[in-house]
Structures are given as structure tokens and as C-alpha cells.
Amino acid sequence: MKYTFEAPEGGWGFIICVGMALPFIQGLGSIQCFGLLFKDFFEEIGGGTSAISIVSSSFFCALSFAGLLSSSLFQKYGIRRIGLVGGFLYFVGSIAQVFVNSSFQLLIAYGLLQGSAFGIIIPVCYSTFNLYFVKKRVMMMSFAQTLIGIGGMIYPILIQKLFDWYGFRGALLVLAAVNSHAIFGMLVMHPVEWHLRKVEIVDTELQDVNGNIPNDHEGKDENHHMVESARNSIGDPKTYRGLSMDHLNKLTGSRRASSIASLGNWTGPVVVSEFTNQPIKSQKKGKWKALVDFLDLALLKKFVYVNIVLGITFALYSDVAFFTLQPLYLFQLGYSRADTALIIAIGCGCDLVSRIVLAFSAAFVSVPSRFVYLAGAFFTFFLRFVFLKVTDFTAMAIMTGILGFLKTWIHVPLPLVFAEYLPAERFASGYGLFMFLQGNLMFAIGPATGYIRDTTGDYVITFHFLNIFMGLCAFPWLIEIGVNRFKGKKSKELST
């Protein structure tokens, strides 16, 4: 009797979805509500918008570096073990925030500790999720994203209530207890070998006249050797022990995501964290050569790649900074903390609706992910001018909802933009190089936004400045597409 092992496609996989949703709700919620959470703190210490920009930018810089190194850490120590370290660091950063008294201390607690921890947690979640689901991956990712979206709606309202009940430090202490569930989320990331389904293989051609399947020890040994070789080629053998060759091929044969719905948030270095299906050969290289090969710096010679990287980096920074400063802008307009939290929750709710719409539409309509991203950046650029013209609650809630709906178009399709441009063999390095450049650029640009706000004292001017970066994504991409159309050429994949 022959058997094969297949992905659970359910069972403990449902717990994996919940475990993935918990740290994502906390991490993405803290990014969305950073201004709401620390407004009073920065006013108390005399820190201006520059300090807010530097601290929030440091979070993404640390996240990018941690995500870039995650694959090597997984191969050396295992996914779950590194995930637990990430969950513990995130909790430590939350506890440290309760005792901060300066913007530098907050940079360490929030930017360095929580940023690097979240950068570890993201690839742990996606890597484990991809092992548990193959056939049902799109459906279950949509389920997990729905949980994250619902949590994102509740998070700002929860913060507002905690402030009313316990004050600033008390609210941070309760949030630290909530954030401790990141450890639980990483704890349930069991190795897939613990929950694989054992499926009987029935080969009618091998059956004898009595319906029995003869033993084929030679074939069994050969297949076992193939499976062992495959395990050794993809990193941590403990993670893949017991997998059949067919299942290994499904897990490692392709680096490209199948659809927009199968992807999570932009913060997921999904592909960077996947293990390579090529044996790792030890070669002696110079330090510069090793760095060039590791980051695949040769891609910087490609104009289209550079245009994609800069456009996405500028759009991401513009979007993240905009929603970080929005609560402070609403406070300046005279909104109460409760009304501000409600408006943020409406934006998160529309973000959730947009994810669902995008998932269903991707199943029926095939649109290049870069066009989806371009549409999000283009419409956001113009609608922000309308946003800055409204002041009453209803109009502000409607515009925030529309911008929240378009936010999904900027965040969710991001990895697929690279997947559609880069060949499979350069996908991991190309996406890793983007993460490296994006983290550094966001950290470098951040203080400029804060300086403009502190110098002018005007959030409207600051938002116009941020909108320039959104335009630096949309219009160069439109020019590139227009030039290619005019010349009658289509974008080609990079040569190997």
C-alpha cells in the first residue's frame, strides 16, 4: 500500500489563519492609529511632527531589514522558532512603550523593537500559511484578510475607549496585554509535518488480478531518496519531513502568486521568505560581490524595474504618512477623539470592502496588477484635493471611506507587480532589493515631511507635499506606458 502526504487544507489550518490574523490586526492597527495613540504624548514632550515622522519611518526601516534577513534565519533556526522570537520582541516593545519619556525611547520601543519584530512575523505567517494550504489558498487567504479587516475596524474604537477609561499609560498597558497575543499567534504556527493528511495512492495499472498492489521496494527507496534530496534543497529539513515529492513540488515549484486575492498586505515579504528550490552552494566571494549577488544590484540597470521600485516606494510612503497624520489633522479641525476614531474605523471598513471586491473581481477579470496599482495611485492623487476641501463630519467620513477603499489597490497588489515583471529565478532577489531600498528611502524621506509641518504649521501644505509623492508614482508610470504604446512595444521579462 502506497501513501502520499498532502497539505492539511483545513483542520489546524483554520487555527493558522487565526494565529496570522492576531499579530496583523495589532501591527497594522498600530500603524493606522499611531497619530491617535501618541498625539498627547508628543504634545507633552514638545515633540513636533518631525518626531512623529522619524519614529514611524524607523518602524518601516526596521521592518524591511528584518524581512530581508528572514529567509536566512528560517533556514538556520526554523520558521516557528524565529516566529516566537518575533512575537516576544513585539510584546517587549509594547511593554517598553508604557515607560517611554522621550521620542528617542519611543523610536527604540516602537520603531526598532516592534518594527523588526513585525518584519519577522509577516514572513513567518505567510510561509506557514502557504504550507498549510495549496488548493484552498485563495479562499483561506480571503478569510484571514476578512478577520484582519474586521479587527482593523475595531482597533481605533478600542483605543479611544481605553483612553477614556484608563488614560494614556493605562491604555498602553492594556494594549501591551492585547499585543501579547502575537506570541500565541506564533505559538500555533506548528510545522506542517504535524498535521499532514495521509492519502492512499491507488494505481490501477499496478494491481494484479486479485486487486492487490504489489510492493515495490526499489521504487519506494528511489522515491524516498528523491524526497530527501528535495528536503535538503529547501532549507530546514524539520519543516518538510514527511512531505511527498508531489507536495514538495507544489510548495516550491513556483514563486509567483496566482492572483491578487492570494496575497496579503504590502508589508509581507511573501516571496523573500520562501525557500529556494536550488541547493545552496558555498562559494568564496568578495564582500562587494556577495552583496551584489545577494541583493541582485544588477537589476538597478533596468529602467522599468527602477521606475517600479521608486513609484511603489513613493506611493507607499505617501499613503502611510497620510493616514498617520490624518488623526492629527482632524484634531486640529476640532474633532473629538471619539469622532476621529469613528472616521478612522470607517476608512478601515471601506478597506475591508475593497479587499473583498478585489478578490472577487480578480476571479473573473484579468487585469495586470500594475494597472490596478496605477489606478489606485492615480485616483488617490486627485481625490486628496477633494479631501482637503471638506471639513464637516459626513463629508470627511465619506472621503476617508473612498480613500480607504483605494488604499487596498495600493497595498494588496504590490508583490504581484514584481511577480508579473520579474522572471521566477530573480523574483526573490528583486523583491528583496525592493524591501531594502524601500525601507531606507522611507526613513530618509520621513523627516522632510515633519520639517514641513513644523515649519509651516499647516497640515494642508503637508498633505499637498505628500501628494507629490503619490504623483511621482502615477505620472512616471503613465509616461512609461504611453512611450511603450507609442513605440508599439510591450514590457518584456528580464533575461535570465
- Residue 24 inside a domain? The answer is yes
Residue 204 lies inside a defined structural domain of this protein: no
- List the CATH number of the domain containing 352: 1.20.1250.20
The alpha carbon of residue 28 and the mean position of all alpha carbons in its chain are separated, in whole angstroms, by 9
Examine residue 277 and state whether it is found in any structural domain, yes or no: no
Whether the per-residue pLDDT at 225 is higher than 80: the answer is no
Which of 13-22, 242-251, 278-287, 414-423 is predicted with the least confidence, judged by mean pLDDT? Answer: 242-251
Question: Is the model's pLDDT at 13 over the cut of 50?
Answer: yes
Q: Which residues make Cβ contacts (< 8 Å) with residue 235, sequence separation at least 6?
A: 74, 75, 275, 276
Q: Which residue did the predictor score with more confidence, 30 or 3?
A: 30
pLDDT at 140: 77
Mean pLDDT of 321-325: 88
pLDDT at residue number 275: 39
Number of domains in the chain: 1
Closest CA to 445 of 415, 474, 468: 468
Return the pLDDT at 492: 52
Give buried/exposed letters for 453-466 (b at 16+ CB in 10 A, else e).
bbeeeebeebbebb
- Mean pLDDT in residue range 249-258: 43
Q: For the CA atoms of 349, 350, 353, 358, what is the dihedral angle to 10 degrees?
A: -140
pLDDT tens-digit map of 165-223: 988 889 899 999 999 999 999 998 888 888 777 777 766 544 444 445 444 444 444 34
Rounded Cα–Cα distance for residues 272 and 436 (Å):
11
What is the residue range of 186's domain?
2-191+294-487
Residue 239 above 50 pLDDT?
no
Residue 46 lies in a domain: yes
Of residues 489 and 467, the one with the higher pLDDT is 467
Cβ atoms of 321 and 53 within 8 Å: the answer is yes
103-116: pLDDT as tens digits: 889 999 998 999 89
Is residue 234 predicted with pLDDT exceeding 50? no
User: 55 pLDDT exceeds 70?
Assistant: yes
- Which is it for the CA torsion 415, 419, 424, 425, positive or negative? negative
Residue 118 within any structural domain of the chain = yes
Q: Is the pLDDT of residue 477 over 50?
A: yes
Is residue 340 over pLDDT 60? Answer: yes
> How far is CA 142 from each of CA 172, 207, 256, 259, rounded to the nearest angstrom?
30, 42, 18, 11
Give the mean pLDDT of 93-112: 91
Task: Indicate if the alpha-carbon torsion angle 299, 434, 420, 268 is positive or negative.
Answer: positive
Average pLDDT over residues 67-87: 83
CA 86, 90, 95, 100 torsion: positive or negative?
positive
Handedness of CA 84, 89, 90, 92 (dihedral sign): positive
The answer to whether position 275 is within a domain reads: no
Dist. CA 366–CA 259, nearest whole Å? 9
* pLDDT for the residue 255: 40
Q: List Cα–Cα distances, 73 to 236, 367, 426, in angstroms.
A: 10, 36, 20
Domain contains 267: no
Instruction: Give the per-residue pLDDT at 467.
Output: 94
Does any domain span residue 228? Answer: no
The pLDDT assigned to 466 comes to 93
Among residues of the chain, what percentage have pLDDT more than 70? 77
- Contacts by residues 242-247 (CB-CB < 8 Å, ≥ 24 positions apart): 242/5, 242/193, 242/196, 243/5, 243/192, 243/193, 243/196, 244/4, 244/5, 244/6, 246/4, 247/4, 247/5, 247/6, 247/7, 247/134, 247/196
Evaluate if residue 227 carries a pLDDT over 60: no
- Greater pLDDT, 483 or 380: 380
